[in-house]
Amino acid sequence: MPTLVLTGLFSALASSFTFLTGFGLGTILLPVFLLAMGPALAVAAVAPVHLFHNLGKFLLLRSVVDRRVLVQFGGPALVAAALGAWGLARLTDLPELGSWSLFGQTFAICPLKLVIGLSLAVFS
């Protein structure tokens, strides 16, 4: 339960920080969610936060939203998000690429974790 509460509080805090910038929510939240759950679930858990964050911004700022820009960027963003989710789902079925050990603990290099890690590094 404490992990769930902390994750929820951190989500609210990250949403408030990224409200004005319009970007960065996933980059901030995904590492936190990865600490609390597996990679596939963490990526899936960030999606509803994004949805409610964007709906909240839209409701608060709808009087100044340029509808043309919303359609030009929002439509392709929805398509790209669906394709990205589909691609990540396919990565969960692929075998490990290798493994390594540190301090007596073995770690697996999975395609999904590799793509998430590289994405976070690039987007940061």
Q: Determine the pLDDT at residue 64.
A: 92
Q: Which of 1, 28, 23 is nearest to 12 (CA)?
A: 28
- Segments of the chain scoring below 50 in pLDDT: none
R_g of the chain, CA atoms, integer Å: 17
Q: Which of 79, 15, 18, 75 is nearest to 48 (CA)?
A: 15
For residue 105, the SS3 value is strand
Q: Determine the pLDDT at residue 1.
A: 62
d(CA 68, CA 35): 39
Q: Determine the pLDDT at residue 36.
A: 84
Angle at which helices 67-91 and 111-123 pack, to 10 degrees? 150
Q: Determine the pLDDT at residue 113.
A: 86
Q: Determine the pLDDT at residue 4.
A: 77
Running DSSP on this structure, what letter comes out for residue 107?
E
- The residues with which 98 forms a beta bridge, in sequence order, are 109
